[in-house]
Amino acid sequence: MTKYGWKLSMFTAAALFLSACGVESGNSGNNDETDVEVNEGNNNVVEDETNNNEANNNGEAAEAEVEYEWQIGWNSGLDDDSKGEAAKAFAEHVMEASNGRVDIEFFPNETYASSPEMIDAVQVGALDMALPGANELAGAIPEYAALSLPFLTEGFEEAHAVLDGPVGDDLKALGEEQGFITLNDVEIGFAQITNSVRPIEEPSDLEGLSIRSPNDVSLIETFNALGSSVSTMDYTEIYSGLSQGVIDGQFNPLLSIYDQNMQEVQDYLAITNHTYYYSYFIMNDDLFNSLDEELQEIVREGSEHARDAARDFIAGEEEAAIERAEDEFEVVTYPDLEPFQEAVLPVYDEVSDVMGEEIIADMQDFLEEYRNN
């Protein structure tokens, strides 16, 4: 059984410093604890579950001694969040299947560092694993922004088909060139638009609005094409930016909107499903390659559990999230999407020189064939 503890986190710039000094977060441990610890803000209480290392009545061997202590960071919550559900599913599988060889510590809500900083930390080995958005990883691997292209996929089934098929396999393989292993995808959902100025019924309603976007060229160009001014800021800073009027609006999947309580400072919601959001579960490549084959397989299996847990969570919450929106926002609109789709068509050409024409064509060809079957 896994029990979750809480303790103070003081890792941001210090993590890279410790790595340079030879202190690795993926170190070998010599204690007998196999709990998952969760670092959240300034909470400073630790609750531990200690293994019983005596053999049972049948003479079976006790759990193995802890060999590895791994840390996972991401930018959203632990509970009621697809990344949190993915992290828990991964940890539970790895800890059980490894017979206690691995301890795992969680850093949700950017308590380790900002999401871009966590990517850097994984690349240099200061952080073992992270769940950054695919569009955030596009700074290192431009192809990872391709699935963010506006209105590329028409639903979860199509997005899953891309990620689970040969295109998705090719995308995952690109991580090894950047210092990490891309283990699997973690679903976040389709993005919707909120703002505090006016309801969104047609593309012209977005003209002149200041909209926050991730630092993703396809999404930035999408809202430029719709006449908005685009601001980029960290995910955990969006609420502050909205409440202080620094930005008028933003776009995220509904569960992410609720995760950061953005509905408290936004009046208008438009259901547009204009882009598919997902993260990648990444692990430092030196750490992964140092593991024996059995543990590598356990890690890969754990990432599959993580992927499935995230998808199951989103599927189970999507309908309720839309129903909740009717109570949380003053006005919820369901605009005709065809004018929006026409307005953003030039984006595909504008970003092709950044992410490459090949990946865009591969996805479009795959989806055309998928829809015809």
List, as one string, the DSSP characters of 116-137. HHHHHHHHHTSSSEE--BHHHH
User: What superfamily would CATH give domain 4-140+152-187+279-319?
Assistant: Bacterial extracellular solute-binding protein, family 7 (3.40.190.170)
Q: Give the pairing of strands 249-252 and 210-212.
A: parallel
User: What is the distance of C-alpha 246 from the center of its chain?
Assistant: 25
The radius of gyration of the chain's CA atoms, rounded to the nearest angstrom, is: 21
Q: For the purposes of burial, counting CB atoms within 10 Å of the CB of 50, is it exposed (0-12), middle (13-18) or buried (19 or more)?
A: exposed
Question: What is the model's pLDDT at position 40?
Answer: 54
CA distances from 358 to 145, 219, 354 (A): 13, 19, 11
| Structure token digits, residue 174 | 């690109």
Question: What is the model's pLDDT at position 39?
Answer: 67
Place of tokens 């609109």: 333
- Domain 4-140+152-187+279-319 and domain 192-276+328-372, same fold? Reply is yes
Report the alpha-carbon distance of residue 250 to residue 232 in Å, rounded. Answer: 10
Asked if residues 249 and 209 have their Cβ atoms less than 8 Å apart, the reply is yes
Question: What is the model's pLDDT at position 98?
Answer: 97
Q: Where are the alpha helices (DSSP H) in the chain?
A: 13-20, 82-97, 115-124, 134-137, 156-164, 166-173, 217-225, 238-243, 254-259, 285-290, 293-328, 338-343, 346-355, 357-372
Query: Any idea where the domains of the chain sit in the sequence?
Result: 4-140+152-187+279-319, 192-276+328-372
Asked if residues 87 and 75 have their Cβ atoms less than 8 Å apart, the reply is no
Which of the four CATH numbers 1.20.20.10, 3.40.50.300, 2.40.50.140, 3.40.190.170 does domain 192-276+328-372 have?
A: 3.40.190.170
Going residue by residue through the chain, which has 373 residues, state the pLDDT in tens, using 9 for 90 and above. Answer: 333 333 333 333 444 444 444 333 454 444 333 355 666 553 333 334 434 444 444 444 456 799 999 999 999 999 999 999 999 999 999 999 999 999 999 999 999 999 999 999 999 999 999 999 999 999 999 999 999 999 999 999 999 999 999 999 999 999 999 999 999 999 999 999 999 999 999 999 999 999 999 999 999 999 999 999 999 998 999 999 999 999 999 999 999 999 999 999 999 999 999 999 999 999 999 999 999 999 999 999 999 999 999 999 999 999 999 999 999 999 999 999 999 999 999 999 999 999 999 999 999 999 999 999 9
Question: What is the model's pLDDT at position 50?
Answer: 36
